[in-house]
Structure 1
Amino acid sequence: MDAQLPDVEAGKRFYGELFGWSFEDAYGSSVWARLDGRPVAALVPKTDGRMPTVWTVYFATPDADAFTRRILAAGGQVVTAPTPLDDLGTAALAADSEGAVFGLWQPGRHRGFGVRREPGSFVWAQLYTRDISAANTFYGTLFHDALFGAGAEPDFGRAEVTEVFPAEMPPHVLAHFRVTGLGDALGAVQRLGGRVQAPPFETSYGAVAVVTDNQGASFALLQR
């Protein structure tokens, strides 16, 4: 996953204090975020101010070109064609049949998460959609058992937009980070210049609050 931000240095200060991340140079002006030395995310400078300030979750694929063809066949869109990032891997951006954007990552030297589900790391991705049936068909066609079972602990869910957000909110994928104390984490977000977008609510996978960072990128905090 990565965050596309206007100011990477400000992002480092925000997330470094919130989650205890450290940072090192990645590619170009991007940085890897690490938790106890293990990769958890990247912070990427926006190259176009018209692009949203946003967190993007990437799904792994062995063949990004072939996968984008499957996305088109399933009724989705390719936002950014597969692009190699040196020997790190190949990235692409796509959108589902309702317009929710997600990433694809064909691993090279960078395999992806070094840790997840631990405090301060990725734990869940929630698709907020207006048509859960269509979402199940779209993602089920693309990912089969990888998303919906096969004995593995799931980390991707679907919900209607209006369960948390106003009806006019566009469909989107919301990244969740695990925290040990939701109240303390919300206090830190606000102290660091972020804001609470949706106050804590209960879900089948834990207590969740939706926040934005000090530059406007939305994400969720999850206390399991």
Structure 2
Amino acid sequence: MAAYTEGAPCWVDALLPDLEAGKRFYGELFGWTFDEGAGPEYGHYAQAYKQGKAVAALAPKRDGRMPTVWNVYFATPDALASARKIRDAGGRLVTEPMPVGPPPSSRLRSSGGHPHGVMALAADPEGAVFGLWQGGTHEGLEKAGESDSFCWAEVKVRDAARADAFYEEVFRFEGFDLDGVIDGFRTWSPPGTEAGPDTAVGGRELMGEGVPAELPAHFLVYFNVDDCDEAARVTRRLGGRVQSPPVDIPYGRIATLMDNQGAVFAVLQDHAN
């Protein structure tokens, strides 16, 4: 896959209490297979594949206080420069930019000992956490926007103007409000493109008054599925929960799910399916 443009979601991973249970859950739900995982020096990071292409990764939590969560990473040509932009725009760095890999046991392609890339974790002004990925020998997702792979990410916030200013400064996104279609929702398109749903790579949703006050700003990662209702049924059967039941929106049929360890994600069934 060609290198990702700046600001495009390029990788997703989940932090889970039980790595093997996570493999069983997502292996059955999405048909993913997994490599043997990296060694302890890389946190036993296990990459997931669909039809032989990298689609995500799972990692065991090193500390019980860490959240059980799906993370999304945005592509950057220069992680250090992006880190400076994040700070200047009112965000903070959770993990400073650091080179990653290559661990000898991983199936990730490597060349000449060069790192897979440079990663960082950051938080926006409301505290929503996201990642940065500066691709090296590993550029990111090898399969996306297809069945059982990543297709979308959105940040859910309480202060829309603050979030818009932050992300559009850091990644130079072109914003487009979907008022009248999905109120309180703004899509993000790469710089230099015509803003709108057809070019969008992600988005921002304003949390309504009905959302519990204790729920912080956060990202929600979506995976494409052939049958949204079946994905919800399988999630229940595997011990997970359906947070928001399947519903039709102008862009497909969606549901918000929770795996059997507490990590929340969403699924999208295209109208064509």
TM-score by length of 1: 0.94
1:5 aligned to 2:46? no
Gaps spanning 5+ residues in structure 1: where?
none
Match of 2:168 in 1: 140
**Whose helix proportion is higher, 1 or 2?**
1
Pick aligned residue for 2:36 from 25, 31, 50: 25
Query: Corresponding residue for 2:205?
Result: 159
2:73: which partner in 1? Answer: 58
Q: Is the 8 A contact 1:33 1:40 kept in 2?
A: yes
- Contact 2:232-2:246 at 8 Å conserved across structures: no
Q: Contact 2:189–2:199 at 8 Å: present in 1 too? A: no
Aligned twin of 1:47:
62
Q: Indicate if the aligned counterparts of 1:200 and 1:207 stay in contact, CA closer than 8 A.
A: yes
Q: Percent identity?
A: 52
C-alpha distance in 1 between matches for 2:262 and 2:235 = 12
After TM superposition, give the deviation of residue 204 of structure 1 in Å: 3.9
| Greater Cα radius of gyration, structure 1 or 2 | 2
CA separation of 1:214/1:169 partners in 2, compared to 1, >3 Å: closer, same or farther? same
TM-score by length of 2: 0.78
Q: 1:201 aligns with which of 247, 252, 261?
A: 247
1:190 aligns to 2:236 (yes or no): yes
Mapped partners of 1:133, 1:119: distance in 2: 34
Deviations 1:137-171 (A, max 9, x none): 11111111474251573231111122884343111
Aligned residue for 1:223?
A: 269
CA contact (8 A) 2:256 2:266 kept: yes
1: CA distance between counterparts of 2:220 and 2:209? 13
SS at match of 2:208: helix
> Structure 1 residues 162, 201: CA separation in 2 closer, same or farther (over 3 Å shift)?
farther
- Report the more deviating stretch, 87-96 or 157-166: 157-166
CA contact (8 A) 1:161 1:167 kept: no
Structure 2 unaligned blocks of 5 or more: 1-11, 102-114, 175-187
Q: Give, as a single letter, the amino acid of the residue that structure 1 aligns with 2:246.
A: P
Q: Figure out how many residues of one structure are paired with residues of the other and give that number.
A: 224
Contact 1:84 1:91 in 2 (8 A): yes
